[in-house]
Amino acid sequence: MITEVVNTKELQKLDPVFGQMSFDNHEQIVFCNDKDTGLKAIIGIHNTVMGPALGGTRMWNYNNEWEAVNDVLRLSRGMTYKAAVTGLNLGGGKAVIIGDAKTQKTPELMLRFGEFVHSLSGKYITAEDVGMATSDMDLVRTVTPYVTGISEEKGGAGNPSPITAYGVFMGMKAAAKYAFGSDILEDKVVYVEGIGNVGEALVENLSNEGAKIYISDINRERLEEIRDKYSVTIYEGDNLYAEEMDIYAPCALGATINDETISQIKAKVIAGAANNQLAEEQKHGILLREKGIVYAPDFLINAGGIINVYAELENYGRKEIVRKTENIYNTTLEILKNAEINGVTTHQAAFDVAQSRIDARKLKNS
Ligand code: NAD
C-alpha cells in the first residue's frame, strides 16, 4: 500500500478540511465528482508562488475519504517544497482519485478527470503517480493541455520513473560520501523496500555499481521477476528495519520512518524514493539525527521525475534532464553539510532552502 497508515478516528475528530493536521495553508482544494463515470477525485493546490502547481495524480483504493483528503494535502504540500528546493518555477499540487486503478480506471473516468483539471485553467498541471501510466496522461492530454508525463511518441518526456530512480541514486551516493567518506556503493549493503517502477530502476543503478542488494515487496511475483533480472537477494524476513545494512532505501510507502522503526533501524544512511518518509517530520528528523543516521530528504532526492516532466513545459531535452538530475548529488551534499553546521535536521535544512526561495519570490511578485 502506497498511502500512509493514518488513524482515521483521529482525523475525524478534526474539522473536515481546514482543520486537518495535514492542512498547511493550502490555496485551493477541489473536490471533483461525476456520477456517470463514478469519478471521485480531489485536487490539492498547496502553493502557486513559484509557478503553476504541478504534481501527479494518484489512484488509490483509500479506506475512506478522510484518508484521501489527508493524502492529497500531504502530497501537494510536498510538491511545493520539492519544486522549490530543486530550483524549478513550479508550485505544489497533487490529485487523488478514489478507487482501484486495476478495476475502476476507465477511459471515460480519466477523460472526465482531465476536464476537471482543464477547468482550473492551468493553475494545476497534472502528471502520473501511483496507479497511473503514461498512456493515461496521453488520454488526459486529449481534453486538456495542462498535463505532463505524456509519452515520447506524443511529444512528451515519457515515463519519469527511471529518472526519478537516477536522482535517488545520486542522492544516495552523496549521502554515502557524507556518511562513509566515499560515494562508491560497491559492496555496500542496500535494502530496497518496494520494487515497483522506481525501485526496479534503482536496483539497476545499484547493481551496475556492484552494491549488495536486498529487495522486499508485498508482491511475490514482482520479487521473483526482479531476482531473475539482477543480482539481488529477496529479503525473506518480516522486519527489514532491524537488519544489518549500510543503506535503507524506502521506495514503497510513506511514513515508514516512525516511532516503531527508528528504534530498530541499523542503517547508517536512508535514501529512497517514497514520498513523505518521515511519519512526523520534526520529531522523526530529530530522532534520526540523534541516532547518527544520515537521512537524505525524500523531496530533495526524488525530484528526478518532476525535472523530467518540467522539461515538457520548458522544452529542454534529455541532456538537460540528466544534468539537472545529476545535480541532486551536489545539492544533497551541500544540504547535509549545512544541516550539520546549523545544528538542524537534514529535512529542515532542505525545507529551509525551499522556503527561502518561496519567500524571495513572493517578495519579488508583490
Ligand atoms: P509503484 O506503484 O510502481 O511501486 C511501488 C511498489 O511498492 C510496488 O511494487 C508495491 O507492491 C510495493 N509495496 C507496496 N506496499 C509495500 C510494503 N508495505 N512493503 C514493500 N513493498 C510494498 O510506485 P513507484 O512509481 O515505483 O513509486 C514508488 C514511491 O516513490 C512512491 O511512494 C511514489 O510516490 C514515489 N515517487 C515516485 C516517483 C515516480 O517518478 N514514479 C517520483 C517521486 C516519488
For the chain, which domains are there?
26-72+93-154 (3.40.50.10860), 161-356 (3.40.50.720)
3-state secondary structure of 335: helix
Q: What is the pLDDT of residue 3?
A: 44
d(CA 145, CA 250): 33
d(CA 137, CA 101): 14
pTM over 0.85, yes/no: yes
Atom of ligand 1 lying closest to residue 163 CA: 40
- The secondary structure of 164-227 as a DSSP string is HHHHHHHHHHHHHHHHHS----TT-EEEEE--SHHHHHHHHHHHHHT-EEEEE-S-HHHHHHHH
Percentages helix, strand, coil for the chain (3-state, rounded to 5) are: 50, 15, 35
Atom of ligand 1 lying closest to residue 254 CA: 32
- The secondary structure of 295-329 as a DSSP string is E--HHHHTTHHHHHHHHHHHT--HHHHHHHHHHHH
The distance of Cα 208 from the centroid of its chain, to the nearest Å, equals 24
DSSP 8-state class, residue 64: S
- Indicate whether residue 253 lines ligand 1 (CB < 6 A): yes
Q: What is the pLDDT of residue 11?
A: 67
**Which of 191, 218, 241 gets mutated to test ligand 1 (max ligand atoms within 8 A of its CB)?**
218
CB within 8 Å of 9: residues ≥ 6 apart? none
Joined grid coordinates for residue 250: 524506502
**Which of 1, 2, 134 gets mutated to test ligand 1 (max ligand atoms within 8 A of its CB)?**
2
Centre of ligand 1 from the C-alpha of residue 246, in Å = 21
Q: What is the pLDDT of residue 20?
A: 75
207: left (phi over 0), alpha (psi -120 to 50) or beta: alpha
Q: What is the pLDDT of residue 6?
A: 61
Q: Which residue among the candidates 9, 35, 82, 94 is catalytic per the annotation?
A: 94
The distance of Cα 94 from the centroid of its chain, to the nearest Å, equals 11
How does strand 294-295 pair with strand 28-34?
unpaired
Instruction: Tell me the one-letter amino acid at 244.
Output: E
d(CA 178, CA 236): 30
Q: What is the pLDDT of residue 26?
A: 95
Q: What is the pLDDT of residue 16?
A: 73
d(CA 187, CA 234): 17
In DSSP terms, 226 is beta-bridged to: none
Cell 522523526, residue located: 284
Q: What is the pLDDT of residue 314?
A: 94
d(CA 321, CA 279): 30
Atom of ligand 1 lying closest to residue 298 CA: 44
Q: What is the pLDDT of residue 55?
A: 97
Joined grid coordinates for residue 228: 531473475
Centre of ligand 1 from the C-alpha of residue 58, in Å = 11
Mean pLDDT by 10 residues, the chain (366 residues): 56 74 90 98 98 97 93 94 96 98 98 98 96 95 97 91 97 98 98 96 98 97 98 97 98 93 97 94 97 98 96 93 97 97 97 97 92
Q: What is the pLDDT of residue 2?
A: 39
Q: How many CB atoms lie within 10 A of CB 339?
A: 23
d(CA 253, CA 193): 9
Which residue's alpha carbon is nearest to atom 3 within ligand 1?
Answer: 196
Instruction: Tell me the one-letter amino acid at 291.
Output: K
Query: Catalytic: 94?
Result: yes
